Amino acid sequence: MRFSVGDSVRVKLDDPPYHTRVPRYVRGRRGVVTEYQGDYPLPDTVVLTKGADRTTQPLYGVCFPAEELWGTGQLTTDGPFEVSVDLWESYLEPLDARL
Amino acid sequence: MTGEHHDSDSATAARVKRVEAAVIAAGLTTEAELDALLEVVATKASPRNGARVVARAWVDRSFAEAVLADANAAIEELGLSMEAGPQVRLKAVANSESVHNVVVCTLCSCYPVGLLGPPPTWYKEPAYRSRVVREPRAVLAQFGTHLPPQTEIRVWDSSAETRYLVIPRRPEGSDGLDEDELAGSVTRNGLIGTGIL
């Protein structure tokens, strides 16, 4: 397992021409790992191989502060919030600096 | 219901029939298997199940801790399950004075059907799915849910393998209610987080 709870990560900025479970609004954004959810087949590979390759990899809950996703102006109109997104390990890269 | 809605419902029904015939013909499932699944959804899946989980959490502190730690195991105590295969993980998230939770699936319409029944139409609409991660407070206000400005909102985007269940705050003045009466006070929107009780 590459990441631990509390690690800062960045979602890879990618635009793959196939099915993926990375919502566009978190691509390239920084977040913090809040949970390891277990190992699950990577949907991208499952779909690409029509179900033949169900190799698993760790799935994490990653929390993004609102200002990281939408800028600071959002908070003045909408108050404090954060968004938690469930992301597979290969969607993420380590971030040296703490978020 | 308007004619327009009716037409799109018919179009959807026709499409479902074609897909059903195709997956059966491909040997991916059988009519009996689909019927059994529909039977479960039609007769067992209901927001009353989620309400029972919440009411028990309100009256039983050790259950509340258990459901937050491992919801799949905890709901078995109530004779409940996710009803959709072993890979569906359930996570319960509790509202407090300082934190309010709300659930969405921005990529499609993932939802804990076994505990909440079939999702409401708005849950599947792009308007809800795109806005609630961007301006949750404004979206909640449209549901009539007005939170204090300092309350932190946590939006859970359930687009992978976990389904989320919100444990709302217990209504004020509910001290005299028993567990069944408490369960009766829990709304579907409360379980999704678009409502408070």
Q: Which of A68, A85, A92 to mutate to test the interface with B (most CBs of B within 10 A)?
A: A85
Catalytic residues of B: 105, 108-110
Tens digits of residue pLDDT in A37-75: 999 999 999 999 999 999 999 999 999 999 999 988 766
- Inter-chain Cβ pairs, chain A and chain B, closer than 8 A: 72
Compare all CA atoms of chain A with the CA of B136 and give the residue at the minimum distance: A78
pTM over 0.80: yes
- For residue B137, what is the nearest residue in chain A, using CA coordinates? A78
Q: At what angle do helices B61-69 and B47-59 cross, to 10 degrees?
A: 120
Give me the pLDDT at residue B1, please: 42
C-alpha B150/C-alpha A9 separation (Å) is: 27
Question: Would you state the pLDDT for residue B37?
Answer: 82
As a whole number of angstroms, the distance between CA B115 and CA B82 comes to 7
Residue B170 falls in which region: left (phi positive, over 0), alpha (psi -120 to 50) or beta: beta
Give the residue from chain B lying closest to A80, CA to CA.
B152
Residues of B within 8 A of A61 (CB-CB) are 162
Domain ranges of chain B: 3-42, 45-192
A40 touches chain B (CB under 8 A): yes
Q: Which band of pLDDT confidence, cut at 50, 70 and 90, is reported for residue A96? A: confident
Task: Give the whole-angstrom CA distance, residue A55 versus residue A89.
Answer: 12
Q: Is A85 on the interface with B (CB under 8 A)?
A: yes
What pLDDT does residue B83 have? 65
* pLDDT at residue number A79: 80
Residue A21 confidence (pLDDT) above 50:
yes
Contact criterion met (CB < 8 Å) for B158 and A86:
yes
pLDDT at residue A77 greater than cutoff 90: no
**Run means of pLDDT, 10 residues per run, chain B, 197 residues:** 59 92 93 86 88 98 97 93 71 97 95 91 97 95 94 96 97 95 97 97
Question: B155 vs A74: CB contact, 8 Å cut-off?
Answer: no
Q: Which domains does chain A have, with CATH numbers?
A: 8-94 (2.30.30.50)
Burial B137-163 (b: 16+ CB within 10 A, else e): bebbeebebebeeebebbbbbbbbbbb
CA distance linking residue B192 with residue B114, whole number of Å: 13
Output the pLDDT for position B3.
46
Mutate to test the interface with A, among B23, B133, B140, B154 (most CBs of A within 10 A): B133
Q: Which residue in B124, B122, B121 sits closest to B110, CA to CA?
A: B124
* CB proximity list for A95: less than 8 A, separation 6 or greater: A7, A8, A9, A10, A30
Whole-number Å distance between alpha carbons of B155 and B101:
6
- What is the CATH class of B45-192? alpha beta
What is the reported pLDDT for A99?
A: 65
